[in-house]
């Protein structure tokens, strides 16, 4: 399968988990990655800067109207939902919170599933609520590939366990296994 994008959702403990994944991706990893990490609406936009220092890929905060490019990692800005349009551009909204969150993982995953259909990989990492579970179901519905972090390896296991409980997760992997796995299925 030729996957065209990866979406990742994380919450409590997510920065550490994302660091582990991003740090280990090679500079020639071309599949774009779009991330929603739950952050406070008052947070500074530090995550892209921090992760960019650890990676050979281009890591940036998403801009509305931006075309998704290979070799790039896009991060939802604080207090904005990140959506993927059917023309493979990014969009930002300040619509109501979903699962008490803005940005919401479900919104990213659901819009990505509509755009990329079976050429999408969705990954749920550590977190303390069930955001992303509906999105995982949507990705699976459109034939995409779904991954959840092994709850025992998550700093907070509630979110990956909630995704697993949907019955729509294809692979359950420890944090250390996720990077190698996505490299193997994307190259």
The domain of 120 spans 5-186
Quick check: helix, strand or coil at residue 73? strand
pLDDT at 110 over 90: yes
pLDDT at 44 over 70: no
Report the run of H or E that residue 138 belongs to, with start and end: helix 133-141
> Catalytic residue positions?
11, 38, 131
pLDDT at 89: 98
- Find where tokens 């998550």 sit: 154
* CATH number of the domain that residue 22 is part of: 3.40.50.180
How far, in Å, are 20, 27, 30, 51, 148 from residue 98 at the CA level? 27, 34, 30, 26, 20
Check pLDDT > 90 for residue 146: yes
The total domain count for the chain is 1
pTM given for the model: 0.96
Give me the pLDDT at residue 6, please: 98
Burial category of 58 from C-beta neighbours within 10 Å (exposed 0-12, middle 13-18, buried 19 and up): middle
Find tokens 């890591």 and name the residue: 59
DSSP assignment letter at 77: P
Distance CA 178, CA 9 (A): 13
Q: What is the pLDDT of residues 151-187, one digit of tens each?
A: 999 999 999 999 999 999 999 999 999 999 999 999 7
């Amino acid at each position: 399968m030729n996957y065209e994008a990866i979406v990742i959702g994380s919450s409590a403990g997510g920065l550490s988990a994302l660091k582990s994944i991003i740090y280990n991706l090679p500079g020639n990893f071309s599949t774009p990655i779009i991330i929603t990490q739950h952050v406070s609406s008052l947070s500074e936009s530090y995550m892209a800067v921090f992760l960019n220092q650890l990676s050979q890929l281009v890591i940036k905060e998403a801009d509305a109207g931006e075309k998704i490019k290979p070799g790039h990692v896009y991060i939802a800005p604080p207090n904005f939902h990140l959506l993927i349009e059917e023309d493979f551009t990014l969009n930002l909204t300040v619509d109501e919170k979903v699962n008490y969150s803005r940005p919401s993982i479900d919104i990213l995953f659901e819009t990505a599933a509509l755009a990329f259909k079976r050429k999408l990989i969705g990954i749920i990492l550590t977190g303390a609520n069930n955001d992303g579970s509906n999105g995982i179901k949507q990705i699976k519905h459109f034939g995409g590939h779904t991954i959840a972090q092994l709850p025992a390896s998550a700093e907070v296991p509630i979110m990956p366990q909630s995704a697993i409980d949907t019955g729509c997760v294809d692979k359950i992997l420890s944090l250390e296994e996720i990077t190698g796995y996505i490299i193997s299925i994307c190259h």
